Structure 1
Amino acid sequence: MDVLNETCVHPSTFILLGIPGLESLHVWISIPFFIIFFIAVVGNYCVLLIIVTDVSLHQPMYLFFTMLAFVDLVLANSTMPKLLGIFWRHSNDIDFHTCLLQMFFVHAFSTIESGIFVAMAFDRYVAICYPLRYVIVLSPGVIVKSGVLAVIRGVAYILPLPLLALRFYEYRSNIILHSYCEHMAVVRLACGDVTVNDHVGITIGFLVLIMDSLLIVLSYAMILRTLLRLASEARLKAFGTCISHVCAILTFYVPIMSSSLVHRFGTNVPHHTHILLANSYLLLPPLLNPLIYGIRTKQIRQKVSKLIF
């Protein structure tokens, strides 16, 4: 494909390069990507099916699992079908407005997932620090409101990104050096000053990553303080209920923070490494969350066994 030129045009479509620099390996790279995508879709669908159809699992913790599974399904399906199309059929083109829609879905549902993790941290805080008030505080109405708030926040934070991108009518090129329509990968092609877009992106990243991380750390600091007051046996039992959540948090935040840090400071890191890291925070949580909760949660594990056998 041609190198980026300086002629400004209004593109009707963008061209996604997949993983630039590794084009010759696209067919081989597609194999693990497809396996991860397949396991993620099946795993999250099973979690949704089990919890929705089993009334005994309509409890706060499992309702949060349901939200997480739904968000993970959206995240996996927002990028992987197109990426596999690039790998297998060289279907690199994507409509201009579809690209902006993909941008919104990827960033909005990542933000929604982060909000759900904050709500789940609060759930664990109430369950361990105020067990007698757990059912009252975490009523079904509160759970639903938490989910709605996470969605509203995600939409409010991310909607400005595609709207700000719409103000650019002309672009230097329609070739996106990425596997999906990531915000800055698209905006940097625009003819015009992208400072506002860059600042808005950084601000949103700060609000989501830093603020949500701090809220989760604060919740677990208070949980730890309560656990230290308990007898060793009760302490281990209480902490055991947090392990799944902690693992899921690490699965989500470590890849996304690594990707952000490498993107900002890794000037000598190969471009394809940036792309692989950017895909990791969209693929690893949908892949690992059902496995984490399936293995750690007895009720879900038993239901999955019945579905399979």
Structure 2
Amino acid sequence: MSIFNASEVEISTFFLTGISGMEHAHIWVSISICLMYLLAILGNCTILFFIKTETSLHEPMYYFLSMLAFSDLGLSISSLPTMLRIFLFNATGISPNACFAQEFFIHGFSAMESSVLFIMSIDRFIAIYSPLRHTSTLTSARVFKTGLVFAIKSILLVFPFPFILKRLKFCRKSLLSHSYCLHQDVMKLACSDNKVNIFYGLCVALTAMFDLVCISVSSILILKLVLGIASHKGRLKVLNTCISHICAVLIFYVPIITLAIIHRFAKNVSPVLRVIIADIFLLVPPLMNPIVYSVKSQQIRNLILMKVCERQG
């Protein structure tokens, strides 16, 4: 009886995972991660600054891009503390409350980014299907209201996560699979019934998949419209306006789907591979999105070059 009671003592600390077997190289990994975070934060802040200050960028596409940059900033800031603590100081411990708070923000900003990518796909479809009515249809007020509705939806969607985790009992197991807290990772450590967590986590995942399906349908419709353009030059010009969005969708969803498949089906996969893919999910989209949109958007590119030339002058 005493053995049973001892095994049922709730743990007070979770332990996050670095790159197993490469602890000697963690300092170099931390430098790379720190540089990626700095570039991601700088890039997204630059996008937000230009969209706010330049009236030429006060258009629906750039408003939605600012929402994407805000989501990327949220993802970066939410995961930065634990990842740097692990790789800089080998401090892997995190309290349950801090862990629940982190997974709320990570899932919340991920849901927000998924919603923004969905809205942007609708924006691109309207811009191609009815270019003359695009600006009048998506006015600044409508863009703001749409963004606000989807932001509230994302927050409400993941709001129950910390509470349904807090009701669980955690004993015996305390080692998490990643360098930050995720709902599906934390709930597996529970020694009490976690069926509610599994069911609700599935509902949230299906919502993200719904966004992806809608994005795919929108992309197919856009492709159909593009193929209907007689001029080869016209087709390339229209496709060029969608390339940055397609890249953003792939950069965001490919790591998420890969990570979900690993969690669900590839349980014997190398822990190192799991950690790397999980870190890519949070590091790469915030880093790459500003680069992709700066390269593909002539207006943003020209503004950046102009600012650089002014400083050199």
Amino acid at match of 2:222: I
Amino acid at match of 2:55: V
Query: Contact 1:99 / 1:181 at 8 angstroms: preserved in 2?
Result: yes
Q: 1:230 matched to which residue of 2?
A: 229
Instruction: Provide the TM-score with structure 1 as the length reference.
Output: 0.92
Amino acid at match of 2:217: L
- Counterparts of 1:298 and 1:268, CA distance in 2: 46
Mapping of 1:20-35 within 5 angstroms? 20-35=20-35
- C-alpha change, 1:141 and 1:74, in structure 2 (3 Å) is same
Amino acid at match of 1:93: G
Task: Give how far 1:202 is off.
Answer: 2.1
Which 10-residue stretch deviates more, 224-233 or 19-28?
Answer: 19-28
Tell me the secondary structure at the aligned position of residue 176 of structure 1.
coil
Q: 1:116 matched to which residue of 2?
A: 116
Q: 2:299 matched to which residue of 1?
A: 299
Task: Give how far 1:21 is off.
Answer: 4.3
- C-alpha change, 1:256 and 1:88, in structure 2 (3 Å) is same
- Counterparts of 2:184 and 2:212, CA distance in 1: 23
Task: Give how far 1:12 is off.
Answer: 4.0
Q: 1:156 matched to which residue of 2?
A: 156
- Counterparts of 2:38 and 2:170, CA distance in 1: 38
Amino acid at match of 1:125: F
Tell me the secondary structure at the aligned position of residue 94 of structure 2.
strand
Query: Contact 1:103 / 1:181 at 8 angstroms: preserved in 2?
Result: yes
Query: Contact 1:7 / 1:173 at 8 angstroms: preserved in 2?
Result: no
Question: CA offsets, 1:177-228, max 9 Å, x none?
Answer: 42111112222222201122122212211221x2111101111222122222
Q: 1:219 matched to which residue of 2?
A: 218
- C-alpha change, 1:91 and 1:135, in structure 2 (3 Å) is same
Query: Contact 1:44 / 1:72 at 8 angstroms: preserved in 2?
Result: yes
Q: 2:8 matched to which residue of 1?
A: 8
- Counterparts of 2:297 and 2:210, CA distance in 1: 29
Mapping of 1:1-309 within 5 angstroms? 7-208=7-208, 210-231=209-230, 232-309=232-309
Task: Give how far 1:292 is off.
Answer: 0.3
Query: Contact 1:22 / 1:272 at 8 angstroms: preserved in 2?
Result: no
- C-alpha change, 1:194 and 1:55, in structure 2 (3 Å) is same
Amino acid at match of 1:213: L
Task: Give how far 1:170 is off.
Answer: 4.2
Which 10-residue stretch deviates more, 18-27 or 80-89?
Answer: 18-27
- Counterparts of 1:248 and 1:36, CA distance in 2: 17
- C-alpha change, 1:17 and 1:221, in structure 2 (3 Å) is closer
- Counterparts of 1:262 and 1:218, CA distance in 2: 26
Query: Contact 2:14 / 2:96 at 8 angstroms: preserved in 1?
Result: yes
- Counterparts of 2:195 and 2:237, CA distance in 1: 50
Instruction: Provide the TM-score with structure 2 as the length reference.
Output: 0.91
Structure 2 unpaired stretches of 5+: 1-5
Tell me the secondary structure at the aligned position of residue 15 of structure 2.
strand
User: Aligned residue pairs: how many?
Assistant: 304
- Counterparts of 1:92 and 1:161, CA distance in 2: 22
Task: Give how far 1:145 is off.
Answer: 1.8
Query: Contact 1:18 / 1:86 at 8 angstroms: preserved in 2?
Result: yes
Tell me the secondary structure at the aligned position of residue 99 of structure 2.
helix
- Counterparts of 1:139 and 1:171, CA distance in 2: 53
- Counterparts of 1:175 and 1:218, CA distance in 2: 40
Amino acid at match of 1:84: L
Q: CA RMSD in A?
A: 1.9
Task: Give how far 1:13 is off.
Answer: 3.6
The list of structure 1 runs, each at least 4 consecutive aligned residues, that deviate by more than 4 angstroms after superposition, is none
Task: Give how far 1:91 is off.
Answer: 2.7
Which 10-residue stretch deviates more, 16-25 or 79-88?
Answer: 16-25
Q: Percent same amino acid at aligned positions? A: 39
